[in-house]
Amino acid sequence: LFNSEMPQPAALATGQTTVKKDYGAVKKAIEDILDVEGYDDGSYGPLLVRLAWHASGTFDKADGTGGSNGATMRFEPECSWGSNAGLDKARSILEPIKAKFPWISYADLWTLSGVVAVEGMGGPTIPWRPGRVDKPSGVHCPAGGRLPDASKGAQHIREVFSRMGFNDQEMVALSGAHTLGRCHTDRSGYVNPWTNAPTTFSNLYFQDLLNKKWTPKKWDGPLQYEDNTKTLMMLPTDMELIKDKKFRKYVELYAKNEEQFFSDFASAFSRLLELGVQFPAATVAV
Ligand code: ZEM
């Protein structure tokens, strides 16, 4: 009864059944694995934020390479980059969720995890939409050396983040993610958390940068800074945000105005996770 002139129902035409892509259910599954006793400060949240960031922060706006699309961190050489040390753990805790919702791409799952983690730790709502497509092998890995080096200065920070397309204010807003989590000697060589509330998303990182006295830590490890309790830390790149006058202006703004920080972080983080991604025309936020 059908002829080529008649619109045909898609399922009949292709013989396929449709899977309902319930991103809300995936979000819920991620929320459920965030809190865990005995790992770091009791949450995988900071690690998942770092996964989303490193998956995305390889983008180069000059040629459109890198970025979250493709989820190439599954492959050599990207999975073995020194900068990605420890993220194997983040990827593996998401595997049971990928198994339960096989229709979601790794690239969507990793970025959504960062979003759910920020939200779950009390941060702003981050606009997120699906549409990233996994690439099949490591030949698609971006060039190495694109993620920032914590031992370097303001010029390096500007080079790396302007390559992605961010301005000074967005660089400072994104750096506010260091209010979360900690450094691990076996991953980066650095040690300790930035703040005393590493599983709560807040503007405490900016307040601490300005209000605590930071001095070089005396140890055999790489140069890092410590507060007078010797329990908190700042990386050399974190210190650049108060040494550089143009960056410092925004540190002062965000230390005073948490609402502004939340709103600017949400926009910049959302954009970070979408760099280089081509979304189908009618993709809406979930
Ligand atoms: Zn980080 N970051 N980061 N970062 N980062 C670490 C940890 C975390 C830099 C960096 O070298 C390091 C952004 C920007 C920059 C997070 C999120 C974001 C660590 C410690 C280092 C060394 C890793 C370890 O030992 O486990 C540098 C140089 C940056 C810019 C100049 C941006 C942007 C981020 C997100 C928007 C997070 C959440 C962590 C904590 C991870 C954890 O496991 O607790």
Estimate the share of the chain in helix, then strand, then coil, as percent rounded to the nearest 5.
Answer: 50, 5, 45
Phi, then psi, of 43 in degrees rounded to 5 = -150, 140
Burial tier of 132 (Cβ tally within 10 Å: 0-12, 13-18, 19+)? buried
Q: 3 pLDDT exceeds 60?
A: no
Task: Label residue 284 by pLDDT band (50, 70, 90).
Answer: low
- Residue-wise pLDDT for 208-221, tens only, equals 999 999 999 999 99
Q: What is the pLDDT of residue 118?
A: 99
Structure tokens at 102: 């096989």
Residues with a known catalytic role: 54, 194
Task: Give residue 136 CA to ligand 1 midpoint distance, Å.
Answer: 27
Mean pLDDT confidence for 71-84: 98
Q: Which atom of ligand 1 is nearest to 184's Cα?
A: 25
- Residue-wise pLDDT for 181-193, tens only, equals 999 999 999 999 9
Q: What is the pLDDT of residue 18?
A: 76
Say yes or no: CB of residue 148 within 6 Å of ligand 1: yes
Domains by residue range for the chain, with CATH: 23-146 (1.10.520.10), 154-265 (1.10.420.10)
- Residue-wise pLDDT for 9-51, tens only, equals 554 555 566 788 999 999 999 999 999 999 999 999 999 999 9
Task: Give residue 183 CA to ligand 1 midpoint distance, Å.
Answer: 8
- The ipTM is 1.00
Say yes or no: CB of residue 87 within 6 Å of ligand 1: no
